[in-house]
Amino acid sequence: MDLLFIEAFVIHLEFSKVFLDKIDHAGKPFEIIQAERSKFDNELVESDLTIIYRIVGKKYALLIENIIDAIAIVDQYERYINVEK
């Protein structure tokens, strides 16, 4: 399923737009520059999908976790904030 999502983000920009519209980037022109599956950092976290995109020269990342029943990791939000720094 992860690979289908990656393909959708890269090939079907309308799919990507659905996500970006939800995070305060609605209507802004964007470019998907990288899409990875299962990016892991030993000290921080693993994200199931990492989508790197650019808006007006600035890079952003979508870290997508697709496990519905998983137990939250301690400080998970803070760890995600630090993954792409």
Q: In this predicted structure, what is the pLDDT of residue 54?
A: 96
The angle at the Cα of 21, spanning 15 to 26, to the nearest 5 degrees, equals 120
pLDDT at 63: 82
Number of domains, the chain? 1
Which residue range is the domain that position 37 belongs to?
Answer: 2-83
Burial of residue 29, with CB atoms counted within 10 A of its CB: 0-12 exposed, 13-18 middle, 19 or more buried: exposed
Q: How far apart are CA 6 and CA 20, in angstroms?
A: 15
**pLDDT for res 81:** 67
Q: What is the pLDDT along the chain (85 residues), one digit of tens a residue?
A: 788 999 999 999 999 999 999 988 888 999 999 998 876 665 556 678 889 999 999 999 888 877 766 666 677 667 666 655 5
- In angstroms, the CA 13 to CA 30 distance is 9
Q: What is the pLDDT of residue 77?
A: 66
